[in-house]
Amino acid sequence: MTRRPGLRARLLVPLSGDPNGMPPWVQRLERGDDAGLFAEDGAAWTVHAGMPTLVAGIRALLVQALHPGAMAGVHDWSRYREDPLGRLAGTVRWVICVTFGSQEQVDAELGRVARFHGEVSGEYRDSTGAARAYSAADADLVEWVHLAFTDAFLTCHETWGGPIPGGPDAYVRDWATAGRLMGVTDPPETAAELRARMHGYLDRGILRGDERVQDVVRFLRRVPLDGSLRWAYRLLFAGAVATIPREYRRMLGLRRSWLPVVTMTRFVLFVAGKSLGSGPRAHDMARRRLRRLEASGTEPTRAS
């Protein structure tokens, strides 16, 4: 009789692609000769090590889809339908490596993403119906993806996480570093500026909800997971929707549930956190690197 994998293993497969949570890229977090881009237990570490990231990833994908150029890139190039869990694990890998890795690992991860993005180009219809060419390097697409990501992770941590060292502005300022690495020329550095910049896309009529967006919404609402993970995910999806401002929800064709989904999501995240906390996690590997450098008498230097 085949033994069913435990909850921790079933959570780690979609998050890292490995039931032990230790694929090679996680193991490499222990290596390197510098402290990485962000301070240990600083704003970026705190937010990205927290369980609300499980909701933030869903929220980010929903809001990012409202830019027709970004949506075209997903429609034309993403393998989210054929391999949704692999697509998710690839995104998780990028966030974890940039947050917790050494400069060498950050550079390698940026190279991996750049190789894929270098192929992404095509044409889409903007909100007026005019045809526009796009590539993954377009300034407004790169900026919108960064804004939606930062807002999602900040909002979800504010909703379900603890205090952020230095406050919300410290996280936005930290993650602006990642934005610059991805080609954002002037990323916001305060929470107020972040949300004002996002509303600018609304005010200029750039965003829209169309059939492609609805297709992604339908898919994200019913990501193919098994058993208890399926029901837990649906609660996380509802929790993500509850945190999205009304004007974006309308464009996505989504309504906030009448159920107390914020409280229910908190319970799901608590259970997931207990399960994942029973073994080492990515930031634990990064701490090993820092302790090794300290033990060698080398003061860990912050990567530039």
Residue 195 within any structural domain of the chain: yes
Residue 3 within any structural domain of the chain: no
Residue 109 within any structural domain of the chain: yes
Please name the residue that has the structure tokens 């435990």. Answer: 6
Q: What is the pTM of this model?
A: 0.90
Residue 175 within any structural domain of the chain: yes
Q: Are 103 and 36 in contact (CB under 8 A)?
A: yes
Q: Are 202 and 20 in contact (CB under 8 A)?
A: no
Cα separation, 143 vs 217, whole angstroms: 22
Give the count of beta carbons closer than 10 Å to the beta carbon of residue 181. Answer: 15
The angle, 0 to 180 degrees and rounded to 10, between the axes of the packed helices 103-117 and 84-100 is 140
Helix (H, G, I), strand (E, B) or coil at 162: coil
Residue 260 within any structural domain of the chain: yes
Q: Which two tokens stand for residue 304?
A: 């530039």
Q: Is the dihedral of CA 205, 256, 235, 179 positive or negative?
A: positive
What is the amino acid identity at position 77?
A: W
Parent domain of 118: 9-291
Return the C-alpha torsion angle 160, 223, 106, 295, nearest 10.
60
Residue 296 within any structural domain of the chain: no
Residue 298 within any structural domain of the chain: no
pLDDT in single tens digits along all 304 residues of the chain: 344 456 666 666 666 666 666 788 889 999 999 999 999 999 999 999 999 999 999 999 999 999 988 877 776 656 556 555 556 677 788 999 999 999 999 999 989 888 876 677 777 777 777 777 777 778 888 999 999 999 999 999 999 999 999 999 999 999 999 999 999 999 999 999 999 999 999 999 999 988 888 988 998 898 877 777 888 999 999 999 999 999 999 999 999 999 999 999 999 999 988 887 666 788 999 999 999 999 987 665 555 5
In the chain, how many domains are there?
Answer: 1
- b/e burial code for range 66-77 (CB count within 10 A of at least 16 → b): bbbbbbbbbbee
Residue 189 within any structural domain of the chain: yes
